[in-house]
Structure 1
Amino acid sequence: MTTHGTHTFEDLVAEGAAVPTDGWDFSWFEGRATEARPPWGYARSLAVRLTQATASLDLQTGGGEVLAFALGQGSTAAHAGPPRTPLLAAATEGWPPNVARATALLRPHGIVVVATPEDAPLPFADATFDLVSSRHPVEPQWAEIARVLQPGGTYFGQHVGPRSVFELVEHFLGPQPPEQSSDRHPDRERAAAEAAGLEIVDLRAERLRIEFHDIAAVVHFLRKVVWMVPGFTVEQYEPQLRSLHERMESEGPFVAHSTRHLVEARRPAKLS
């Protein structure tokens, strides 16, 4: 029976399996896992744009934590002025526990959270928003984004890139084909956005180091970020968890790399 400090493998796995997964708050990982952050500072950049918007929409908002943080940063962003919510502000989310969490967090800011599946048409009229944002959407719906943007309006998002954290994925699932997650490649997203009639203003990509310090962090991560190892359960993947735990005990933190890209797109005065 291997241990991590005074904790056995079984203790750590049970701890990772017990942590609630609702919301998009990763503070539980402090001291257990680290991830380098992209240099562009998405939430702070979003804060500036929110102070300048009159009507905003945040897609797949999770528990609303990133949007709430950005609203709170309005007063500290350079030239942003005092914090304020756009006159019309909405957010969408598809997972019921997150809908409830986001509603509680964002309602005090005057933001309406609309429950809608991530792949459904957006329940808003054409040309409603001058700012649409999203952090880590499952798959951006470019045609719908273009439809609800006002002429001259902006989409501002941070997306997960191709083969993100694949060192961890492949430990559990084995080698993955090169085309796996290729639809997340920035060049493919550029083409899809342009096909929807949007103009790309900015597109930047980064590959960032992640370290997992114990197996509890791995378990919680795979339960929370469910698309990494679809259908993950502790019971099904116990052999892989145990071998990874033993590797971390002997070699130190497990290192993986995330990929992220920043996308800023604009709807022209007339959609082509």
Structure 2
Amino acid sequence: MSRTFEELADEAGAVSVDGWDFSWLVGRATEERPSWGYQRLMSGRLASASSALDIQTGGGEVLAGAAKFPPAMAATESWPPNVAKATELLHPRGVVVVADPDEPPLPFADAAFDLVTSRHPATVWWAEIARVLKPGGTYFAQHVGPETVFELTEVFLGPLGEEVRRKRHPDEETAQARAAGLEIADLRTERLRMEFFDIGAVIYFLRKVIWTVPGFTVEGHRDRLRELHEKIEAEGPFVAHSCRTLIEARKPRHT
């Protein structure tokens, strides 16, 4: 017998959404992964770096997957619960975790790192990335691309305009990177299928990925959530699509 809307909503509304671990969704939602394998590629670059910075590290889960860190390794994070989780996970491996508001300036000196990484940063301050990179240094990251999960966003916010749809477009991001003095070494984009099998998965996702529906709460959106629950019950999984961009940008060597 299927669970009621109230049971699913109460469960998903109460579970912790700290950190950046999505294991609670196993069996309840799926998302295709990009073909390039960001964590593996990031790990390889960290192994050969002398100093590195991971921006907006979340709970440190992705960075912790690296096999080897450079002699000088730092990470920034703004959300206090994630700062605590990242500190617990990364300090034993020698990573300095710095609480930072995700606004310029980064709390580091000019030319401090030969590698800067980030997975799914909420904001990208290209001038600051260029500033803290050494000449010849690299920014290597996986960004959330344009129109990610817009199918779900539009359930709650209605149709979104072209200006919103262009945000995070790789063409715009590469233009911003070049304006900050960086050269694009690699750029790849993929659109990936997502499925939500019950309304609890939707609620958990929206509570965790807070920019999908800004200001989301279960109580504030209960009527629309109930409608979506009934749609899933009648038609099967709710399908959306994410977009991911792999970007590698280098700071030129000055002669």
What CA distance in whole angstroms lies between the structure 2 residues aligned with 1:11 and 1:122? 44
**2:50: which partner in 1?**
54
Flag as ranges the 4+ runs of structure 1 deviating above 6 A. Answer: none
What CA distance in whole angstroms lies between the structure 1 residues aligned with 2:217 and 2:195? 21
Instruction: Report the AA paired with residue 15 of structure 1.
Output: E
Question: Which string of whole-angstrom CA distances, capped at 9 and with x for unpartnered residues, describes residues 185-222 of structure 1?
Answer: 00000000000000000010010000000000000100
Shift of 1:266: 0.5
Alignment counterpart, residue 208 of structure 2, candidates 224, 232, 244 = 224
Shift of 1:181: 4.7
Asked if the contact 2:60–2:86 (Cα under 8 Å) also holds between the matched residues in 1, the reply is yes
What CA distance in whole angstroms lies between the structure 1 residues aligned with 2:244 and 2:141? 10
**1:23: which partner in 2?**
19
Alignment counterpart, residue 14 of structure 1, candidates 10, 24, 34 = 10
| TM-score for both structures, normalised by structure 1 | 0.92
| TM-score for both structures, normalised by structure 2 | 0.98
Instruction: Report the AA paired with residue 13 of structure 2.
Output: A
Asked if the contact 2:104–2:125 (Cα under 8 Å) also holds between the matched residues in 1, the reply is no
**1:77: which partner in 2?**
none
Q: How many residues align?
A: 255
Matches within 5 A, 1:125-140: 125-140=109-124
What CA distance in whole angstroms lies between the structure 2 residues aligned with 1:10 and 1:222? 17
Instruction: Report the AA paired with residue 231 of structure 2.
Output: R
**2:101: which partner in 1?**
117
**1:67: which partner in 2?**
63
Q: 1:6 to 1:248 in 2, by over 3 A?
A: closer
| SS in structure 2 of the partner of residue 180 of structure 1 | helix
Matches within 5 A, 1:1-272: 5-69=1-65, 71=66, 74=67, 84-270=68-254
Question: Which string of whole-angstrom CA distances, capped at 9 and with x for unpartnered residues, describes residues 56-82 of structure 1?
Answer: 10000000000001x2xx3xxxxxxxx
Shift of 1:139: 1.4
Question: Which string of whole-angstrom CA distances, capped at 9 and with x for unpartnered residues, describes residues 135-162 of structure 1?
Answer: 0001111000000001111100000111
